[in-house]
Amino acid sequence: MSHTADATPAAEAMFAADEASRGLGIELLERGEGTAVLRMTVTRSMVNGHGIAHGGYVFLLADSAFACACNSHGPTTVAAGADITFVTPAHEGDVLVARAEERTRYGRSGLYDVTVRRGDEVVAEFRGRSRSIRSTRAEEPA
C-alpha cells in the first residue's frame, strides 16, 4: 500500500472495519490526505440480468473510495449525498479501480470526485458530498 507523507491512518482504520467493502474483495491500494485508490474485481454474483455489473456494486466501490478520502483528515465523516454517472458497462472479470480526490472542504463539509476505471477506460464518474460529525464510536471522544 502506498502512502503520502502527510496521510493520517484514519482512512486505513475506517477501511479495516468496513466489512461490507472488504467482504466484496475491495482492496485499499493507496491513501493520502483527501485521496484514496481502491480496487475491486467484478464477480459472477455482481452481474445483473443484462449480463453487466450491477450499478449498485460500481456505486459501492466509488462510495468506499470516497469514504476513505473524506475520512483521511481524522474526524468521523459520512456521506451527505452522492450521485454517479455510468459511462460504460463493466463485466464479470473486469478489474475496476476507483480513484477519489478531494475538491474542497469548507467547515464540516467537503466535495469529492471519484473516477472508476477499467484500465484506461472510464466506467463511471461519482461525486460525493461529505459531512464531519461527532463521533459515534465508543472508543473516540465526542
**Cα gap 40→26, rounded to integer Å:** 5
Any domain includes 79: yes
Any domain includes 111: yes
The predicted pLDDT at position 89 comes to 98
The predicted pLDDT at position 136 comes to 55
The predicted pLDDT at position 130 comes to 96
Amino acid letter, residue 76: T
Per-position pLDDT tens, the chain of length 142? 444 434 446 778 888 888 888 889 999 999 999 999 999 999 999 999 999 999 999 999 999 999 999 999 888 899 999 999 999 999 999 999 999 999 999 999 999 999 999 999 999 999 999 999 976 555 444 4
Any domain includes 88: yes
The predicted pLDDT at position 3 comes to 41
CATH number of the domain residue 24 falls in: 3.10.129.10
Any domain includes 141: no
Strand 27-32 and strand 2-3: pairing? parallel
The DSSP 8-state label assigned to residue 106 in this structure reads E
Any domain includes 137: no
Any domain includes 16: yes
Range of the domain at 62: 2-132
3 state SS of 88: coil
**Cα gap 13→96, rounded to integer Å:** 22
Domains held by the chain: number: 1
Please say whether the beta carbons of 94 and 118 come within 8 A.
yes
Please say whether the beta carbons of 28 and 36 come within 8 A.
yes
Any domain includes 139: no
Q: Residue 1 is placed in which grid cell?
A: 500500500
Which one, of 59, 77, 75, lies nearest residue 67 by Cα? Answer: 77
Model's pTM, two decimal places?
0.86
Any domain includes 29: yes
